[in-house]
Amino acid sequence: MSAAPTPAVPDARPAEVASVTTHLVVLAERLDALAHVQGTPGGGPVRVLFVSSHNAGRSQLAAALLQHRADGRVAVSSAGTHPGPGIEPHIAQVLTEAGAGTAEEFPEPLTDEIVKAADTVITMGCGDACPVVPGRRYLDWSVADPDGAPIEAVRAIRDDVDLRVAELLADLPST
């Protein structure tokens, strides 16, 4: 018995049917964060990191609203100390209503690289689980947890976070 010859070109079919297409995005974000840490301080846009426990609600909401308002003037990221399986449906809905969708976003883990790359770190409900890196500006926003809340309550949370984001954006240095 002889085995079938191995093809010279690997089968491309797995790439065509893959359901996870975002690994490269995550790796690119981490490499970008590492480059920022190792680069010259003050170069490039101001970097803001939003952190919550699961990165499925508040931090995603704040990051999407800042990204929408900043129009590219701020590098925005979000992470969770214990990332959830996906963005909460009500969060995605209220962001879509505000014109700031989350189609490509998903909960990401909090890493030292992401924290070190941030100029401003805003925590929301993660307590002592958030690492503190010297030289970063830290803010703690007391924002209601949208997990399991009715859509009307999530809209109120969105409006609260949007006001905070507008104030933050006005307070950030220009690049």
3-class SS letters over the chain = CCCCCCCCCCCCHHHHHCCCCCHHHHHHHHHHHHHHHHCCCCCCCEEEEEEECCCCCHHHHHHHHHHHHHCCCEEEEEEECCCCCCCCHHHHHHHHHCCCCCCCCCCCECCHHHHHHCCEEEEECCHHHCCCCCCCEEEECCCCCCCCCCHHHHHHHHHHHHHHHHHHHHHCCCC
Taking 90 as the threshold, does the pLDDT of residue 68 lie above it? yes
Q: Could you give the CA distance from residue 15 to residue 18 in angstroms, rounded to a whole number?
A: 5
Sequence length of the chain is 175
Q: Could you give the CA distance from residue 121 to residue 133 in angstroms, rounded to a whole number?
A: 10
Taking 70 as the threshold, does the pLDDT of residue 128 lie above it? yes
Q: Where is average pLDDT lowest: 33-37, 59-63, 123-127?
A: 33-37
Please name each of the domains of the chain with its CATH number.
22-171 (3.40.50.2300)
pLDDT digits (tens, 9 = 90+) for 13-38: 444 544 555 554 445 455 555 555 55
Highest mean pLDDT among 2-6, 12-16, 123-127 belongs to 123-127
Q: Which is more confidently placed, 7 or 162?
A: 162
pLDDT digits (tens, 9 = 90+) for 69-110: 998 899 999 999 999 999 999 999 999 999 997 767 899 999
